[in-house]
Amino acid sequence: MTNRPPYKKRLQQHLSETKKHGRMVGRRIKELGGSAEVVPGPAPDAIKGAAEAGLSAAHRAVALAKGPLHAVRGTSDPEKMLKNAKTEYSEEAEEIANYTSIESLAKSVGDKETARVAREIRREEERMRQYLERLIPQLTDQVAKAEIPRALRNGAGTRRRTTTRRRTTARSTTARGTTRRGSTRRRTTTSARSRSSS
């Protein structure tokens, strides 16, 4: 899985949440007259189908969280952790979409309890996705440090020499006696002064 203690702790916490989600969805399916297994039952087909999709997503998430998904991918531990985090992030997005759909469907048929269960689960999935969204840049930085020589990081190997141009601005005095800067607004006031003094 990971050798980063905070990440490992969060994954273990999310695994517990996912197991709880499976129990919540299974309980709701039974309350609707169905079976927690994906088999036909007397519950309204639309609700039962949506709830079964949620249960299926929960089962997949548990299976993914039990072991290192990409144990053979990458060349370094940081790269493997990054690939796992990106995969987990996409799984969370799919679960959020599933529970959003279940919640919407339940609302449309007036099933407030299923909508509440789906909303609660969706919010936990969103928290995990947000955690991963903050983690991915950190893991990417670790990959860069592990995989890219220091001389090439932060653009050090590709820097181009640039010159700085200094913009010179001329000051001129307007007919009112105020000073303006810049070449686009500059007026030649010498002729205006000479005309007013004659």
Domain identity same for 11 and 107: yes
Structural domain contains residue 158: no
Structural domain contains residue 44: yes
**What is the amino acid identity at position 2?**
T
The pLDDT tens digits for 3-24 are 778 888 998 999 999 999 999 9
User: Tokens in use for 17?
Assistant: 């949440």
| Average pLDDT value for the chain | 75
Q: Check: CB of residue 54 under 8 Å from CB of residue 99.
A: yes
Domain identity same for 55 and 94: yes
Cα separation values, 159 from 140, 142, 145, Å: 21, 22, 18
Checking if the pLDDT of 59 tops 60, the result is no
Domain identity same for 28 and 61: yes
Q: What is the pTM of this model?
A: 0.60
Structural domain contains residue 165: no
Domain identity same for 38 and 82: yes
Domain identity same for 21 and 106: yes
Residues paired with 179 in a beta bridge: 173
DSSP secondary structure string for all residues of 65-114: HTS-TTTTSSSSHHHHHHHHHHHHHHHHHHHHHHHHHHHHHHHHTT-HHH
Structural domain contains residue 160: no
Domain identity same for 197 and 135: no
Structural domain contains residue 164: no
Predicted confidence at residue 76, as pLDDT, reads: 80
Domain identity same for 14 and 109: yes
Helix (H), strand (E) at residue 195: helix 190-197
Out of 49-63, 150-164, 177-191, the most confident range is 150-164
Domain identity same for 47 and 120: yes
The pLDDT tens digits for 119-149 are 999 999 999 999 999 999 999 999 988 888 8
Structural domain contains residue 159: no
Q: For residue 64, what pLDDT band results from cuts at 50, 70 and 90?
A: low
Domain count, the chain: 2
Domain identity same for 110 and 183: no
Mean pLDDT of 38-66: 54
Predicted confidence at residue 5, as pLDDT, reads: 85
Domain identity same for 47 and 110: yes
Q: For residue 166, what pLDDT band results from cuts at 50, 70 and 90?
A: low
Domain identity same for 14 and 106: yes
Share of the chain above pLDDT 70, in %: 57
Q: How far apart are CA 41 and CA 9, in angstroms?
A: 38
Structural domain contains residue 162: no
Tell me which residue range forms the domain holding 35.
5-149
Structural domain contains residue 71: yes
Residue 79 sits in a domain whose CATH number is 1.20.1260
Q: How far apart are CA 101 and CA 119, in angstroms?
A: 10
Domain identity same for 84 and 139: yes
Q: How far apart are CA 9 and CA 149, in angstroms?
A: 31
Sign of CA dihedral 34, 40, 42, 45: positive
